[in-house]
Structure 1
Amino acid sequence: MANHKSALKRIRRNESARLRNKYQHKTTRNAIKKLRALTDKKEAESLLPTVASMLDRLAKRNIIHSNKAANLKSSLTKHVNAL
């Protein structure tokens, strides 16, 4: 158990940040799955900027690595262009 007041605060803060990061990461993964499942090009093109923005946000907050975000955005763009 933590011995300092600041350590207790840090534990609370870390837990809330963990839950927020988990929620954002899961939401982004679901959006990626939804985009990959689409067969309509118009719909996919409208969803792609939203997903790219979500990936950029995760990379900016160090939830995922910036290279992973770039690789995902690239592969999703290729997928949409191939439709």
Structure 2
Amino acid sequence: MSPEVFVEILKEALAMVILLVSAIILPSLFVGLIVAVFQAATSINEQTMSFLPRLIVTLLALSWGGHWLVQKLMDFTFNMVERIPEVLG
């Protein structure tokens, strides 16, 4: 296996990880930011007020985007399996 093939596979794998994780984390990040601004404006420092909305949004993102996430992961896996001859030879 040449170093170029290894670097290309690593680059594709890291891009896939970033894409899948950001699809789950970014909605939670935005909701957390909105709740934090609301808490700062009202001086309410309740921990569950920041945790529960982020948990709900994360679960909704997983349920709504789960099919897409699994499909992207399966496409990547099939692509890697098809590239086995390139890596070996």
User: TM-score w.r.t. structure 1 length?
Assistant: 0.37
Structure having the higher helix fraction is 2
User: TM-score w.r.t. structure 2 length?
Assistant: 0.35
Q: Which has the larger radius of gyration?
A: 2
